Amino acid sequence: AIIKRVACPDGVNTATNAACCPLFAIRDDIQENLFDGGECGEEVHESLRLTFHDAIGIGSNGGGGADGSMIVFSDIETNFHANLGIDEIVGEQKPFIAKHNITPGDFIQFAGAVGVSNCPGAPRLNFFLGRPAPLAPAPDKTVPEPFDTVDSILARFADAGNFSPVEVVWLLISHTIAAADHVDPSIPGTPFDSTPEVFDTQFFVETQLRGTLFPGTGGNQGEVESPLHGEIRLQSDHLLARDSRTNCEWQSFVNNQNKLQNRFQAVMLKLSLLGHNQDDMVDCSEVIPVPPPFTGKATFPAGLSHSDVEQACATAAFPTLATDPGPATSVAPVPPS
């Protein structure tokens, strides 16, 4: 079939639906002025985290899902304990929303999808347009905490959007481009894997290794030992990698870049539509840039090997991987913006 494209008023772009036309200028503006010219750095990581913290605000206790309530009712929601640190990216995004004609719910999900496209190895996320302005703040306790039990985490995701345990694993692919500023406040920017600027499968390798050290101080709530200097491990990621409901799905991503991309694209679409009906929205995915590829292989960090794997999945062996050469790996922090 021939798909008719419309010429956008900007005189440069064409779109399958005229409603998508204004997004090209917003995209170019945030790439230049929010994401520092197209990096996969701190603002991209925080913008992806924000897509989640806004969208998951829905369930049996109320909330409108991916509605931008984190922005409009920031005075309330950024004070919730699980949202610690989210005020920064909320503050950075607000001027772009004020400048452009877009609802905060749409902007949060759009910025997340554009930002992820800067990370080598990422899938090209979808973007659907059409979220109305939020009506009320989300209730507290909708965002899971790293010290929560697996039971409570799985229950929260099921309540929010009928996410299955396997889909919860898919959502945690996000932690391949992530760092923590507040879990151990003495070491802000400490990544969850050795490659926080690459959308690869290292997160699933490294969370399965035996924890041997705290990268900063010990005794922080929601933190357990990690296998690498400079890397932090959340208790929730540690437990999900080992729980019988999630461990085989977790391991299945090791060195499986195609599956990583495919599942993250699918589950992020579902997350971004919480509280909305896809049929009422316009598919503007064509505005999202195509991410650069990642062609490397998963490896054991230098100094570690198969004997450091805490095998959890009972039905499949951990894949055979090479070990990086050189002295024991130490991971550098993600620079602040």
- Within residues 171-200, the interface with Mn ion by CB under 5 A covers 181
Q: Are the C-beta atoms of 177 and 40 separated by less than 8 Å?
A: yes
Q: Is 67 annotated as a binding residue?
A: yes
Interface with ligand HEM (CB under 6 A), residue from 21, 46, 74, 107: 46
Contact status: 231 vs Mn ion (CB under 5 A): no
Q: Is the dihedral of CA 8, 10, 14, 20 positive or negative?
A: negative
Residue nearest to Mn ion (CB): 181
Alpha carbons 142 and 144: distance in angstroms, whole number: 6
One-character DSSP codes across 186-210: TSTTEESSS-TTS-SSHHHHHTTBP
Contact status: 206 vs Mn ion (CB under 5 A): no
Nearest to 22 by CA among 81, 84, 107: 107
Contact status: 174 vs Ca ion (CB under 5 A): no
- Within residues 239-268, the interface with Mn ion by CB under 5 A covers none
Which pair of structure tokens corresponds to residue 282? 């316009």
Which residue lies nearer to Ca ion by CB, 139 or 189? 189
Interface with Ca ion (CB under 5 A), residue from 47, 176, 251, 257: 176
Contact status: 187 vs ligand HEM (CB under 6 A): no
Contact status: 199 vs ligand HEM (CB under 6 A): no
Tell me which residue has tokens 């494209």: 5
Side chain identity at residue 125, one-letter code: L
Alpha carbons 61 and 42: distance in angstroms, whole number: 32
One-character DSSP codes across 247-289: HHHHHHTTT-HHHHHHHHHHHHHHHHTTTS-GGGSEE-GGGSP
- Within residues 221-280, the interface with ligand HEM by CB under 6 A covers 234, 236
Alpha carbons 269 and 125: distance in angstroms, whole number: 7
Which residue lies nearer to ligand HEM by CB, 304 or 334? 334
Query: Which of Mn ion, ligand HEM, Ca ion, none sits in contact with 193, Cβ below 5 to 8 A by type?
Result: Ca ion
Alpha carbons 48 and 51: distance in angstroms, whole number: 5
**Rounded to the nearest whole angstrom, what is the least distance from the CB of residue 166 to ligand HEM in the complex?**
14
Q: Are the C-beta atoms of 234 and 192 separated by less than 8 Å?
A: yes
Q: Is 193 annotated as a binding residue?
A: yes
Q: Are the C-beta atoms of 66 and 134 separated by less than 8 Å?
A: no
Contact status: 179 vs ligand HEM (CB under 6 A): yes
Which of 53, 81, 182, 306 is flagged as catalytic?
A: 53
Q: Is 195 annotated as a binding residue?
A: yes
Q: Are the C-beta atoms of 94 and 86 separated by less than 8 Å?
A: no
Q: Are the C-beta atoms of 105 and 54 separated by less than 8 Å?
A: yes
Span near ligand HEM by CB under 6 A; candidates 5-13, 119-127, 170-178, 308-316: 170-178
Q: Is 53 a catalytic residue?
A: yes
Binding residues for Ca(2+): 54, 65, 67, 69, 176, 193, 195, 200
Binding residues: 54, 65, 67, 69, 175-176, 193, 195, 200
Q: Which residues bind ligand HEM (CB under 6 A)?
A: 42, 45-46, 48-49, 52, 85, 144-146, 153, 171-172, 174-175, 177-183, 234, 236
Q: Which residues bind Ca ion (CB under 5 A)?
A: 176, 193, 195, 198, 200, 202
Q: Which residues bind Mn ion (CB under 5 A)?
A: 181
Q: Which residues are catalytic?
A: 53
